[in-house]
Amino acid sequence: MKQKLLHPIALRWTVLALVAAWSHALGSSASAADGKAQRSPDSVLLVVNANSPISKEIADDYAEKRHVKNVLSIQCQDSAVATRNETIRLAAYQEQIDAPIREYLLAHKDIDFIVLTKGVPIRISGSAMGSCDEHSREPIETRGHPSVDSTLAALDYTNLPTMKIDITGSGAKGFAYSNRYWNATSPFSHAKFGGYLVTRLDGYTVEDAKALTARSLEAERGLVTGKVLFDVQPSFGLGNPDSQPAPIPSLVILRESPWREYNADMRKAHALLVKRGIPDELDLSETFVGQRTNLLGYFSWGSNDAKYSSAAYQTLFFAPGSISDTAVSTCARTFLPTKGGQSLLVDLIAHGLTCGKGYVDEPLLQANASPTITMDRYTSGFTMAESFYAASRFVGWEDIIVGDPLCTHY
């Protein structure tokens, strides 16, 4: 994540007015009554890779526990249980994943959520969407590598009134769609917003992936005690909470947003939870916080923290119903054992996390879920999928959301 100077942007004020009008139409704060309607398992499509025993086992477990009847078997040639198979070429994605899902959805109009399972690839190579190295010499039509999940979330966006965002920053360049559900305050439906809310059940092991559903159901049986941790790094600047959550600024993004803005968003989320009487901890010291258990939420800089400690990161443990996002560019680059690199979402899943957001490659800070919107929706009774997607500015990008989409803790 490197800072770049902002250049003039054509039609800036016209676009800002458009975005402001769109955000205003969707609303700026959630009502608890809006989010509490029980979401039917009939609105979920469960996708299983028939060539992956792991995928089938996880899918069978989810279908049984959540009473999901819409189950689609696809034929990915390789199971994504080896690093090389976590990425799929665009042509193979279109044939093995995109086409059968589209065909199923044409005959099932009431689907709002899509659940992928471990064994389904996480990343596409050779796409026109998603990010790539800023200095790549590949043709613009084939250089992107978005997540499979975020690509499916924008499945019908080319047929809808949609803003395509040209994104540059932190050494990356690419294209994403402006998320039509961004900052929405009503429950999601495909019919109303277009696209789909896509999550996956994944982890280091089959048991880790299956535990995501068990934790979701446990949280729904009763409010679990615990607290939310916001680990601010003040050396990046504290920012102005009143400016958060910041809207999408334009159709052309030429730099990553200042890091102080994520700190400001965490601080605003803290104030929101204090007002609602929900226990939380706002840490404003430079120390990277560890030694916490029973966390119901976790937002931090992860390994981008100036004082990051891998040992401390491994001492964070979570309660059922917990939710998390960290400002780490590649925290969802793999769901397999690996060494080196940035901190991983999959480690938090192994430590009890129920719902998490991550990124398969450089997304820019703008792609992180707004902590304020995430916690506002989640603590108002929205599902975890609605909470994360309402808080996320882009689709067709690098995002992955892990967990049972129907998880409704509050």
Q: What are phi and psi of 273, to 5 degrees?
A: -70, -35
Query: What pairing do the DSSP bridges indicate for beta strands 130-133 and 316-326?
Result: unpaired
Tell me: the pLDDT tens digits for 34-86?
A: 444 568 999 999 999 999 999 999 999 999 999 999 999 999 988 888 889 99
Tell me: the pLDDT tens digits for 368-395?
A: 999 999 999 999 999 999 999 999 999 9
What is the structure's pLDDT at 192? 97
Domain ranges of the chain: 33-201, 207-392
What is the structure's pLDDT at 30? 59
DSSP 198-264: EEEE--SSHHHHHHHHHHHHHHHHSPPP-EEEEE--GGG----GGG-SPPP--SEE-SPPPTHHHHH
What is the structure's pLDDT at 26? 36
What is the structure's pLDDT at 11? 36
Where are the strands (E) in 263-348, listed by range?
280-283, 292-300, 316-326
Record the pTM.
0.91
Question: Is 18 or 294 the better-scoring residue by pLDDT?
Answer: 294
Neighbouring-strand partners of residue 229? 281, 298
What is the structure's pLDDT at 138? 80
